[in-house]
Structure 1
């Protein structure tokens, strides 16, 4: 019989479930975090749980916050189990479960007054975010903040009752300024190049519309460190909750399953103070850019390389995609020939070894990561993970045949059917647009590349356009499997 997760039941947990090495009720908050999803709970919260277990940083506990409708349901699940989360690490030779207690509260989504009041609290010295690549209101082609986004325009018109994370952060900073309270540090934990700068652009960009003086104050006084985060963390399904109950005797309404590997590299710019995360494996550097580019291009780009052919071949799990020789060979060819050569040297890292580790991580049969998750949100991910690599190679006069095929595979996927004819359910915030454009591109490939906000100059390059069109034609005539076979031959 399984035990329901709660403070009261921590002593009743099975011996094979690790529990917090501290008294959770002794913690006090120091961080407000927007976007309490699986990745945050398997990454930032785990690092803090480790730190608290060493008897350090007990004034840096997390207060959750959210702005999406789904956040209310997530809050209710976590509230019912005293904000506790079970994290299960798995690979072929390792499985371990632990209960983490780094979060001590979760603000009511939609309660702008309550969220702003907590942001203004002097106890809060860091505000962090995992709101996905698409949550930063970036113009994909320019990579810059788009002040004309409808949500930003709405917050600018009603700054006292904002609905975006950036509107709430700005309102919290404005109140701290008015009350002469030192500003908090804003720390993005999303997979975006220069995520700190991107976050600053959003907060300052919104402030420019509302109050230029406030924008100047934010620029002068608020720190936005860049960071690189890494841990493969799939979505939770009934499969995971059932497994946890069967294998560990623990009932958790929203557990997290993840790989054992994790990495966090941060620029050490925290004027309001920070937890001593270097004690638990976080790397602090002056400039995170080399680590960031390595991860985004080799790992996130690699995910895109295997995702779309696997999706078209009706492959469900990522490790199954890696077991398909054509997909594994495509990843190897594209990484070695076109992606890794664009990555500058990284201090203390051999890029070839890094790629071999990624191949092992993608092949982990226990993690249950899905191809559909990797295919998600290409309209926001491709301009960050793939297209900059294409642009660099074109500028250098280098080949882009494999990257053009990756782009053609994405286009073919967005048509909405696999090679077997199975329907691909909507899998992008802009799915209707992507599907309509992909259908038009079947007869006129230039239609796909004409999405200026996604491809920019790359879409206008004659070599890329010709290569892309040839690959797309072959995909429609022969399917993904034969197209890969011919490319590799």
Structure 2
């Protein structure tokens, strides 16, 4: 019979499952984290758990919070099991489970007064975030802070008197700490964005600039926003994973996390308020994260997009199943070799060809259960970050772009709203209605898709790209996804 996960139940968890051996009552909070979803608990929280297990830095425990309803639901479920999480790391032929305990509390998103009190507590020295790529109020076309976003405008309208966004809360707390003579905390983004520290800085300071430019200048001068590259494939949890945990490990966990064994975290070493000694558990601290994050975003995340949309159109459910499809796997490999990797600058102590092979192996891991639908999610935010920058660089360098243009065309066809077999595709983007409308127009007029200037910007004016996109989309509609992939592979 499965043991319900809780502090009291840890003694009843048997077999190969690791549990915290440190006393959780020895932990004290040093980090407030916004967004306690699966990736955070498989990554940052797991690293900290290992650090505490090593007997180090137990004054850096996590207090979770958020600003969305789903954060509150997650927090409630975790509170019922004393903020413990089972993390199951899987390779093709193995799986290992560990109960982690780095989180020691959660503040309800509705209780903004308590959030602010904790942010202004001197023990809080890092505020970290996993609020997704779309949570930073970035204009897709310009990649600049969107000061006109309704949620930002609402926080600014009342002078941050009652902030409701994560960045409004962070900004208000920083200004209150300054007024109280407390040093600012470090703001650490753990989201998958190019220059995520700079993006977080623009969100906080950009909001404050709407209220008081002098305060915004102080934030840019006094507050550290280190860049980070984060990596661990972590699918959404379904009943499939909860059942597997009960059957294979004897644990009943409301919010388990299943992930790959691989993980990587590269951090800019800029923490004036102090930091935990995460280098002791495998985190790389460097002066410049940019080469690492560019490599990861363009090869791994760009690679995800390359397999996601053809697989979605062909009714393939899991990522590893897409990699078992020889045509899709060949497309991924050829695209990376010819159009992506050559435009990735050298990365310290890294062989890019070997990194690419590691990515392909990770995608093919059948234990992960990562879904194609998850990879297809939120293309309007992901394409401008993971595909279009490589496309721009390729155009400037006069290099091949046919595969990158084909990904754009496959995304357009996906947004039409049905697979090639006629199965409906449920809405999978915050702007799904608009995307579907443009995709349907583009069936007979491909340029209609590129007229979404907030996504494509001046790429829509490039005749070489327009022609390649138009030809790919027409080929998909006239002959199908497989014919379009085959045309690319044969034309190399």
The TM-score bracket by the shorter chain reads: over 0.9
**Aligned partners of 2:314, 2:326: CA distance in 1, in Å?**
13
Offset of 1:26 from its aligned partner?
A: 1.0
> Which residue of structure 2 lines up, in the alignment, with residue 187 of structure 1?
188
Contact 1:306/1:321 (<8 A) preserved = yes
**Aligned partners of 1:66, 1:7: CA distance in 2, in Å?**
24
> Which residue of structure 1 lines up, in the alignment, with residue 430 of structure 2?
429
**Aligned partners of 2:395, 2:289: CA distance in 1, in Å?**
25
**Aligned partners of 1:488, 1:394: CA distance in 2, in Å?**
20
Offset of 1:160 from its aligned partner?
A: 2.1
1:115 aligns with 2:115: yes
1:464 aligns with 2:465: yes
1:165 aligns with 2:178: no
**Aligned partners of 1:86, 1:32: CA distance in 2, in Å?**
21
The 3-state SS of whatever aligns with 2:258 is: strand
Offset of 1:446 from its aligned partner?
A: 0.7
Contact 1:21/1:52 (<8 A) preserved = no
> Which residue of structure 2 lines up, in the alignment, with residue 258 of structure 1?
259
> Which residue of structure 1 lines up, in the alignment, with residue 74 of structure 2?
74
**Aligned partners of 2:30, 2:348: CA distance in 1, in Å?**
31
* TM-score between both structures, scaled by the size of structure 1: 0.99
**Aligned partners of 1:486, 1:217: CA distance in 2, in Å?**
55
**Aligned partners of 1:34, 1:161: CA distance in 2, in Å?**
17
**Aligned partners of 1:71, 1:269: CA distance in 2, in Å?**
28
> Which residue of structure 1 lines up, in the alignment, with residue 232 of structure 2?
231
The 3-state SS of whatever aligns with 2:480 is: helix
Question: How does 1:389-404 map onto structure 2 within 5 Å?
Answer: 389-404=390-405
**Aligned partners of 1:457, 1:213: CA distance in 2, in Å?**
34
**Aligned partners of 2:310, 2:385: CA distance in 1, in Å?**
19
The 3-state SS of whatever aligns with 2:104 is: strand
Structure 2 alignment gaps of length 5 or more: none
Offset of 1:441 from its aligned partner?
A: 0.7
Offset of 1:111 from its aligned partner?
A: 1.4
**Aligned partners of 2:197, 2:85: CA distance in 1, in Å?**
27
1:10 aligns with 2:18: no
> Which residue of structure 2 lines up, in the alignment, with residue 133 of structure 1?
133
**Aligned partners of 2:157, 2:2: CA distance in 1, in Å?**
50
1:375 aligns with 2:376: yes
The 3-state SS of whatever aligns with 1:18 is: coil
**Aligned partners of 2:171, 2:102: CA distance in 1, in Å?**
25
**Aligned partners of 1:216, 1:330: CA distance in 2, in Å?**
47
> Which residue of structure 1 lines up, in the alignment, with residue 54 of structure 2?
54
The 3-state SS of whatever aligns with 1:99 is: strand
1:422-465 CA distance string (max 9 Å, x none): 00000001111111111111111111111111111212100100
Contact 1:120/1:173 (<8 A) preserved = yes
> Which residue of structure 2 lines up, in the alignment, with residue 326 of structure 1?
327
Offset of 1:240 from its aligned partner?
A: 0.4
The 3-state SS of whatever aligns with 1:87 is: strand
The 3-state SS of whatever aligns with 1:22 is: coil
> Which residue of structure 2 lines up, in the alignment, with residue 359 of structure 1?
360
Superposition RMSD in Å: 0.7
* TM-score between both structures, scaled by the size of structure 2: 0.99
Offset of 1:486 from its aligned partner?
A: 2.2
**Aligned partners of 2:28, 2:63: CA distance in 1, in Å?**
9
1:412 aligns with 2:413: yes
**Aligned partners of 2:458, 2:352: CA distance in 1, in Å?**
28
How many residue pairs match? The answer is: 489
Contact 1:20/1:53 (<8 A) preserved = yes
**Aligned partners of 1:435, 1:197: CA distance in 2, in Å?**
32
Structure 1 window deviating more from structure 2 (265-274 vs 215-224): it is 215-224
Offset of 1:213 from its aligned partner?
A: 2.1
